[in-house]
Amino acid sequence: MTDKINSIIFEVYIIALRKKKQKICQSVISVKGVLSMEDKLEKLTKMASLPLRERLEYLIAVGIYLKPDPKFGFVIKPILTRWSDIKTYNREKSCLGEYGDELISILKRL
């Protein structure tokens, strides 16, 4: 009986490890996707006017990435683990509002 219980526990342990490995692999893929956008983020800031560039550099320093988008070319998304919460990100990104047309134009050209 003990052997059967140990066998079941071992199988549950293996299943848990596989799920954990899958989550880790997904995280690595996500991080690789974010890191591959560094050049685009740098290009975005170089193409922006000085006031917009300063605001973008702040958001980049805290944590954003560019996600491909069929309509806009790219959209700016937060790296949620680097912000205290989504409300903080939404409040901080509001500084981009007055530069919306310029930002959309640049994102389409990236």
Along the 110 residues of the chain, how does pLDDT read in single tens digits?
Answer: 556 665 555 555 455 545 554 444 344 444 444 445 678 888 899 999 999 999 999 999 999 999 999 999 999 999 999 999 999 999 999 999 999 999 999 999 98
Number of domains forming the structure of the chain? 2
Chain-centre distance for alpha carbon 48? 21
Same domain? 42 vs 29: no
Q: CA separation (Å) from 55 to 21, 51, 73, 91?
A: 37, 7, 20, 13
Same domain? 104 vs 59: yes
Same domain? 70 vs 23: no
Q: Which residue range forms the structural domain that includes residue 103?
A: 37-109
pLDDT for res 3: 62
Looking at this protein, which amino acid is placed at residue 79? I
Same domain? 26 vs 52: no
Same domain? 44 vs 96: yes
Same domain? 89 vs 59: yes
CA-nearest of 45, 36, 38, 51 to 107 is: 45
> Distance between CA atoms of 49 and 77, rounded to whole angstroms?
20
Take residue 74 and report the two structure tokens written for it.
């790219």
> Distance between CA atoms of 33 and 65, rounded to whole angstroms?
9
Contact indicator for 109, 51 with CB cutoff of 8 Å: no
